[in-house]
Chain A
Amino acid sequence: MRKIEGRSLGQIAWMRLKRDKVAIVGFVVIVLLILMAILAPLIVKAIGHPPNEFNQDLIDTQGGTLAPLGRFGGMSWDHPFGVEPVNGRDLMSRVIYGSRISLLIAFFATLLSVTIGTVMGIVSGFFGGWVDALISRLMDVFLAFPLLVFAIALAGVIPDDAFGLQGDSLRIVLLIFIIGFFNWPYIGRIVRGQTISLREREFVDAARSLGARRPYILFTELLPNLVAPILVYSTLLIPTNILFEAALSFLGVGVRAPTATWGGMLSDAVTFYTMPHFMLWPGLAIFITVLAFNLFGDGLRDALDPRSR
């Protein structure tokens, strides 16, 4: 007879998550995407076509249409996704390289939002009073901020060299900052609400009556109970940030040419809307990534908080 063990909350959640096939599929896809992004140079080396290499011999320059030669946008064993019109760059390696920028920016921007949001939310919820009022108004200001317009303006005026960085690395840091810094109020509000409801609970009262200091209550009593909503919200924020980065790249204020980004590839493809394959691959990449994160995030929420089902 098996011994009956007490299960921790984490174990229960993990069990629930394992049963959710859809979430697991999302999780597997996310892992694969991350692996693809990290191993991009190796994969592309194996394919043999650097993302910025021109293959104009595969383009109809004689006929003047500048479309890829061959059917379906020049798809072949050599170029499984086909090639770009005009310059003939390999679409597959560009899509693979594009994942690096998208995931990098989305992850770090999310991390930034979550960090700021959690700190501000806990402080505001726990201390209440004028601190809460101040932080809440600050959140309102940030939420009312025309982020997209600001992002376009900022990315347009930023010089090539700033803060000791230059070129693409500067732009990536800048994008992470813009996307991350302005999104914290969303998670901040959630954390604040949770904190307010938690701080009046019996176990907090118990800790307090036993003489626990504020930092102890904050980090030992409150924070562990906030991990679930923070985790869930982060998973759902990542796809939003991927879309935002793609939108900025699409508008031409993202990373500079010729660095491949999914949004930038879509933007290039607009001119060639009669050749839909060119739009298909980056679009599909964004779609799959966003879907995978959303499915996983939903599954995670269900597992951590079954009542929200």
Chain B
Amino acid sequence: MSSTFTTSGSDKKGCTTTMSIKRLRTVAALSAVVALALSACGGGGGNDNGTAAGGAKNEFNAGLAAVVNPSDKKGGTIKMGHSDTWDSLDPGETYYGYAWNFARLYGRSLLMFKPAPGKAANEVVPDLAEGLGVPTDGGKTWTYKIRKGVKFDDGTEVKAKDVKYAVLRSTDKETFPNGPAYFEAFLNLPAGYKGPYKSKGVNTDSAISTPDDYTIVFHLKNGFGGFDYLAQLPQTMPVPEAKDTGARYRNTIVSSGPYKFANLQPDKSFELVRNDKWDQATDPNRKALPDKYQVSLKVNADDIDNRVISGDLDIDVSGTGVQPASLSKVLTDPALKAQADNASLARLWYTSINPTVPPFNNIECRKAIQYGMNKASYQTAYGGPFSGGDLATTLMPPLVPGYEKFDLYPAGPDSKGDQAKAKEALTACGQPNGFTTNMAYRSDRPREKATAEAFQQALKPIGINLTLKGYPSGDYFSQYAGNPPFVVANKIGLATNGWGADWNDGFGFLSQIVDSRVIRPTGGSSNTSVRIPDVDKMLDAAIAETDTAKREKLWAPIDKRVMEEAVIYPGVYAKSLLLRPKNLSNVFISEAFNMYDYLSLGVK
């Protein structure tokens, strides 16, 4: 993964990386409802400014809310580069935002996020399905009608059983360890079901039934109002059973979208060429403008930036923003800056304040941190206002529907903290001269290291002395900062942390970081500090609410309640600086993916 300095989005979806699936499974065992949240990274972006329809001027942030260079011209080749390689091209397994964005070129999931600029991208629209899901039985049964005439690249028609098979195979986490684990958590699968490879011939109609070739019905264990979000996952992209090769399918994918694979050389490069069996009449979302996509893998990240700047390459497909080396170049050259978009992400970088570690068992001592920290230096540690993000005062980023702006601990006019208030809080806590505690951070993340150093500097004047402790990010939650006994034994008062949602949704964003029931005594949870019974109840009430508008109103009070307890110090709402392709048309940032929408691009 590229440097964590600029690429805030370099995290896998389920930002705590490898832990997500294991965590989800465990959580699912506890409560399928709570399970939803899992990790998260996708998240919206964008500002509210402007809603231009006729095409935006080529200027800084032009692609945030409007289409740059709108055109319907077909033909040409789009060249993309990647500094690493896909976790898996298999739609059943991939778990990165850019991969979900890209997969829509070669696969059709039941639903999809609308390919449109600005807020519109958060709308879920039908793709392979004719319409959104129809819930019955209190949200326990979801029915989708599949479009007729959609064909695989071998000419056979896509049937309901292909979607069913695709979803079932994705639940086999031994074959596909990297993919999201929502379906096995929610679907009413037979006990002990291990996917179609190992549990051959097992009747799975209790989970997914296909009454006819064009109808698919999902049966859940518990009612879940947000199932349409699951139906947009690439895991619902149809896979023909006859051509499935298990773990090797990633190299032999059968396309159902407008493009199919050609010249695939794993870890080196591949191309997408037109799938002549794809029929525009069945597809209201895709324009399929270019003739070809060329993707080079394992290209040096700085080299990608330079080639995008020169126009030799069109897009850095990982969509995580420019490298630190290019950052100053882009920001200081007006011409280059006009070719850039500063996308917001539905991701919060924050610091846990652990009430299990004295003196943080006293709320006043936690407040001393809230007031005493220099928020501006948090932002700087994360890369400043452009590649780092905006100053945060709440848990939910503005992109998440239901976000409400509030600031319980004002950091002063210059955002450098309020030392007078911090000292008051220290006195109220009975520690007027300050105290000593430890702060954990992920040692292989320069930004978290800088954050920890910033805390140390900001808190020193009020007498709070921090000892910094770096831990490897691979085991950060399972062994160290997310392991409750370790936290107590090693007096980890503060711990850097971060969270993003798999899609922009209050439940997906909040539950994994504020629900006390996701904390596991043996470690592994991102939530290390929030144990508020009220909040658990409020979350349950919100998830039970089936009316979307009403439900969205329930998130902000939870956010506020957590902030009242001062157990989380919100740092920045993440942003990334993306280089806009020079030679392409229909360029805009999708709020659903927080990067350029790869479905709509064309060549000028």
Interface positions of A (Cβ within 8 A of B): 52-54, 56, 59, 61-67, 86-87, 156, 160, 167, 252, 256-258, 268, 271-275
Task: List the A side residues contacting B437 at CB < 8 Å.
Answer: none
* Contact B331 A63, beta carbon cutoff 8 Å: yes
Contact of B380 among A66, A271, A272, A273 (CB under 8 A): A66
The interface stretch among B67-75, B419-427, B447-455, B587-595 is: B447-455
User: What are 24 residue pairs bridging A and B, where the CB atoms are less than 8 Å apart in the complex?
Assistant: A52-B453, A52-B457, A54-B377, A54-B453, A59-B380, A63-B332, A64-B384, A64-B385, A66-B380, A86-B380, A86-B381, A87-B377, A87-B380, A87-B450, A160-B469, A252-B444, A257-B468, A258-B453, A258-B456, A258-B468, A268-B446, A271-B3, A271-B446, A274-B325
* Contact B449 A56, beta carbon cutoff 8 Å: no
Report the minimum CB–CB distance from B358 to chain A (whole Å): 18
Given A252-B444, A272-B324, 9 additional A-B pairs, CB 8 A: A61-B376, A61-B380, A63-B332, A64-B387, A87-B450, A87-B454, A156-B472, A256-B469, A268-B446
Task: List the A side residues contacting B444 at CB < 8 Å.
Answer: 252
B195 in the interface, Cβ–Cβ < 8 Å? no
> Which size class do B's interface residues fall under?
35 or more
A59 to B454, CA, bound (A): 14
Chain A interface helix/strand/loop/mixed: loop
Task: List the B side residues contacting A63 at CB < 8 Å.
Answer: 331-332
* Given known A-B contacts A86-B380, A252-B443, A271-B3, A53 and B470 have beta carbons under 8 A apart: no
Report the minimum CB–CB distance from B468 to chain A (whole Å): 5
* Contact B325 A273, beta carbon cutoff 8 Å: yes
Residue of B nearest to A63 (CB): B331
Residue of A nearest to B328 (CB): A65
Report the minimum CB–CB distance from A54 to chain B (whole Å): 5
* Contact A271 B381, beta carbon cutoff 8 Å: no
Task: List the A side residues contacting B405 at CB < 8 Å.
Answer: none
Sorted from nearest, which 4 A-B pairs have the closest CB atoms? A64-B386, A65-B328, A64-B384, A54-B457
* Contact B327 A87, beta carbon cutoff 8 Å: no
B467 in the interface, Cβ–Cβ < 8 Å? yes
A263 to B357, CA, bound (A): 33
Interface residues of B in 431-474 (CB under 8 A from A): 443-444, 446, 449-450, 452-454, 456-457, 467-470, 472
Report the minimum CB–CB distance from A226 to chain B (whole Å): 43
A268 to B327, CA, bound (A): 17
Interface positions of B (Cβ within 8 A of A): 3, 5, 324-325, 327-329, 331-332, 376-377, 379-381, 383-387, 443-444, 446, 449-450, 452-454, 456-457, 467-470, 472, 490
* Contact A64 B327, beta carbon cutoff 8 Å: yes
* Contact A167 B328, beta carbon cutoff 8 Å: no
Task: List the A side residues contacting B446 at CB < 8 Å.
Answer: 268, 271
A156 to B329, CA, bound (A): 36
Contact of A252 among B380, B385, B470 (CB under 8 A): B470
* Contact A56 B377, beta carbon cutoff 8 Å: yes
Task: List the A side residues contacting B329 at CB < 8 Å.
Answer: 274
* Contact A86 B327, beta carbon cutoff 8 Å: no
* Contact B384 A65, beta carbon cutoff 8 Å: yes
A160 to B486, CA, bound (A): 12
* Contact A65 B454, beta carbon cutoff 8 Å: no
* Contact A64 B331, beta carbon cutoff 8 Å: yes
A80 to B63, CA, bound (A): 43
Task: List the A side residues contacting B387 at CB < 8 Å.
Answer: 64
Task: List the A side residues contacting B467 at CB < 8 Å.
Answer: 167
Report the minimum CB–CB distance from A124 to chain B (whole Å): 40
Contact of A160 among B5, B325, B381, B490 (CB under 8 A): B490
* Given known A-B contacts A53-B457, A65-B328, A256-B469, A86 and B443 have beta carbons under 8 A apart: no
